[in-house]
Chain A
Amino acid sequence: MSGIAEFLLGQVRARVLSVLFLHPGKALHVREIARLTGSSPGSLHRELRSLGDAGLLLRSEIGRQVHYQANEASPVFAELAGFLRKTLGVADVLREALSGLGDQVTLAFVYGSVAAGTETAGSDVDVMLLGSAGYADAVRAFAPAQQVLGRDVNPTPMSIDEFAKRLKEKQGFAVQVAMSPRIWLKGEENDFAELVAHRKAQGSRLKAQGARRNGA
């Protein structure tokens, strides 16, 4: 996923924007941005000035230090922040942690405030894990990610059948998760749509596919 942002924006610009847009309201000194993005302050000055001219960043001078922060008043702020959140932010770190659980997880996504972009400083990252992973294993797998993110990760592992059943019974939690925005870590929206569709209908569709395959 990080590949998409770096492919479209270039590595340096993608990193600069993610550092500033994923922490809006926080003004950073140029040298600090350089440190966080792993680039040299010299080349960064020009990049930051251009982004400022484009209206994406706000420049301020505190004493002799130049600070930059994301311009939340920019008409594309929400879209750009959302794009970066999905490609470079939390998702990357979580995906790496998730790989430790391997095949035990079929579908995984972030839901709740972090996925909706309404998180506060103390918000947990809520992660839904559909498959066979157990709770304790999931907690341990995400423990290193908590340190990187500076946020607690709150995993909820459940089998696909169990989730589908709770959804069918219109249980509060499952419905809420199904309705809320998602950031995909493993699998994609189509897989989920299939799951959410009536299991009966799903069964008949799979049967129909099987029949077609047999006929061909």
Chain B
Amino acid sequence: MKNLLAAIERNLRDAAVTEISDETRFDAAYKAVMQCALAAMLSSGYRPSTSEPGHHATLIQSLPLTLGLPDQAWIVLDALRRRRNANDYTGDIVTPDMVEECRAQGRQLQDALLRHLKKNHRALLAG
């Protein structure tokens, strides 16, 4: 868990670097979003089967259950997931606005995750 939390912070910092392309910044922020969802799921005692297709969608869908994410936030996260897919496979564009949105979502999830862990799983933070 500690490694995962460190990776989230690292990816969000990488996403803040403006010297690199919007695509790479977006990827880093998106990775942080996924890691937040993964950490929240693991802390609840579940493990997603990451070798199966659709596990990103599953992770995002789990957020209302693990971190109590409101629907409005879920809708945007799911759109970011599809955007990332479209960027990777069909060269769809990533704009600076999308990078900022993905970073903001990542930060918010990180905050929610840390609050959740402090409140419900103190042992995980210590270990």
Which residues of chain A have a CB within 8 Å of any CB of chain B? 124, 126, 134-136, 139-140, 143, 152, 154-158, 162, 172-173
Complex Cα distance, B92 from A162, in Å, reads 16
Q: List 24 A-B contacts (CB under 8 A).
A: A124-B82, A124-B86, A126-B92, A134-B101, A135-B95, A135-B97, A135-B101, A136-B76, A136-B101, A139-B76, A139-B79, A140-B75, A152-B82, A154-B83, A154-B86, A155-B79, A156-B92, A156-B95, A157-B95, A157-B97, A172-B91, A173-B91, A173-B92, A173-B93
Q: With A124-B82, A154-B92, A173-B91 as given contacts, are A140 and B72 in contact (CB-CB < 8 Å)?
A: yes
Dominant secondary structure of chain B at its interface with chain A: helix
Task: Output the nearest chain B residue to A172 by Cβ-Cβ distance.
Answer: B91
Task: Output the nearest chain A residue to B97 by Cβ-Cβ distance.
Answer: A135
Q: How many cross-chain pairs have Cβ atoms below 8 Å apart between A and B?
A: 38
Which residues of chain B have a CB within 8 Å of any CB of chain A? 72, 75-76, 79, 82-83, 86, 91-93, 95, 97-98, 101
Contacts of B82 in A (CB 8 A): 124, 152, 154
Q: With A136-B101, A154-B82 as given contacts, are A143 and B75 in contact (CB-CB < 8 Å)?
A: yes
Contacts of B101 in A (CB 8 A): 134-136
Shortest CB distance B48–A (Å): 22
